[in-house]
Chain A
């Protein structure tokens, strides 16, 4: 990821140079309803002959951040958190500001499913 510090993107809402490492990676991701749905745990890049490395998708989930850990720790993490991973195409980004805002809802993009699943159980408890 080191060579792709700066990138230009012509998707709507992102027409300035953004610093991938500083402004995107490890930042909170929110959906169309401002609900947090993870952090940018990793980026999928592709090598374009004209523009060099450019971002193609956000990778969100334990599977994504486990790759950033030393291997022994990744095994422990996989045992605790599983290795689910969601891929959000770059075109789904509405804008990049404080947080990375997406166009659609978390449910539509397959994010935050663990929270929803648990939420159905918790909803059964009075006051949940």
Chain B
């Protein structure tokens, strides 16, 4: 029972990372409640695919990338793997940059110094901590972001207006350029909620935690409750963007600026809680992206993997996640603007999304493999509906990025 409770809270705390934080607040500031329905659509999507990934891992004892190779073959699978690893490295870099920005707010060292510290911290955390601890510490720490839920409440939004905004509709905007920007934000927000590494990590985690077919129901509860609660944080950030930052003409790019909304209502305590929550959320995401990449490569090539094995017994897997941290750190150390890295990581994530979801959907629905646990009518209908949605988003993402001058307008 406690396990279930912790699992739900961990899923909730791990929902937000730098991309989602930035895009949600900006979505609110630019478009008011106009993108709330996208947040809802994205949340249902990640629930659908998270549930499938967990179910497949529990029933077959196979995480996602084993399945991709079996299902799709070596060549097409290799392209998917390379793309997924590249996007994971980019996302990891974004999180490391964000961690450095956040630490800088406490102790005034140069940004690059903090980046190096972040690398050492993350590598040590994964090296030393057992898997469950990694999940729990950073997942539960991310719950500090609940302070933004409190901020949203304090802003006293019109609940009827908020509720109405969950119905998919296009707001009335002033120019073609604004419609393009709205479309871009829809795709980006969707992507930031349905980030592919979350699914890879969740499915490998299920195998790390030794799930069995009996855990299928527990998987469903964790996914539904955890992700719905997590989406409340996303909704809160949109509301904060709309009610706090919009009227102040702020479209924040830096995490510290977002934290000023917590300070405005709750003083220094609010500020510290907000920044603390951000640190755990970003660090958790950095770790998940690095491990996801390592899981993917090791599983695709059939290497021993997992944090349940001591590092010397899964040596290539260990070297891989260390290499991902190192590569991500190197990307950030080139001096590239971390805000831009965040933007590109979100856009490229949605571009590869259909490539990993399709094999998962096919395996989860295959009665020969899953037996009685294969996709029922609801999972099948939603699975294919979202396959269509993410494919459209994937194809539109790069054109929209270019047409909106890199998402700026």
Contact = CB atoms under 8 A, between A and B. Distances in A.
A and B touch in the complex (CB under 8 A): yes
A104 interface: no
A39 B301 contact: yes
Contacts of B75: 68-69
Interface string B297-330: 0011111110000111111101100000000000
A50 B315 CA distance: 45
Interface stretch (B62-70, B138-146, B195-203, B242-250): B62-70
Which bucket holds chain B's interface residue count? 20 to 34
B312 A119 contact: yes
A38 interface: yes
A119 B314 CA distance: 7
A98 to B, nearest CB: 6
Interface stretch (A2-10, A24-32, A87-95): A24-32
B127 interface: yes
Contacts of A41: 74
Contacts of B60: 98
Contacts, number: 68
A89 B61 CA distance: 26
A48 to B, nearest CB: 26
Nearest to B127: A127
Interface in B46-72: 60-62, 66, 69-70
A71 B292 CA distance: 29
B74 A65 contact: yes
Contact of B302 (A36, A116, A119, A128): A36
A35 interface: yes
Contacts of A127: 127-128, 311
B377 interface: no
Nearest to A22: B70
B302 A122 contact: no
A123 B318 CA distance: 12
B73 interface: yes
A82 to B, nearest CB: 13
Interface in A12-34: 26-29
A119 B313 contact: yes
Contacts of A29: 302
A37 B304 CA distance: 7
Given A28-B66, A68-B75, A128-B310, A38 B301 contact: yes
Interface in B210-229: none
A115 interface: yes
B294 to A, nearest CB: 13
Interface in A97-115: 98, 112, 114-115
Contacts of A27: 70
Contact of B312 (A26, A69, A114, A123): A123
A119 B301 CA distance: 17
Given A26-B69, A68-B75, A36 B305 contact: yes
A118 B136 CA distance: 30
A13 B315 CA distance: 32
Contacts of A60: 302
B69 A39 contact: yes
Given A36-B304, A37-B302, A112-B304, A26 B74 contact: yes
Contact of A128 (B73, B74, B299, B312): B312
A38 B305 CA distance: 11
Nearest to B322: A122
Contacts of B303: 36, 38, 112, 115
Contacts of A114: 316
B74 A122 contact: no
Interface string A71-93: 00000000000000000000000
B312 A122 contact: yes
A38 B66 CA distance: 11
A37 B305 CA distance: 10
Contacts of A35: 304
A119 B128 CA distance: 17
The 6 closest A-B pairs by CB, nearest first: A118-B315, A39-B302, A123-B312, A119-B315, A38-B302, A119-B312
8 contacts: A26-B77, A36-B302, A36-B303, A39-B69, A68-B74, A69-B75, A112-B304, A119-B313
Interface of A: 26-29, 35-39, 41, 60, 65, 68-69, 98, 112, 114-123, 125, 127-128
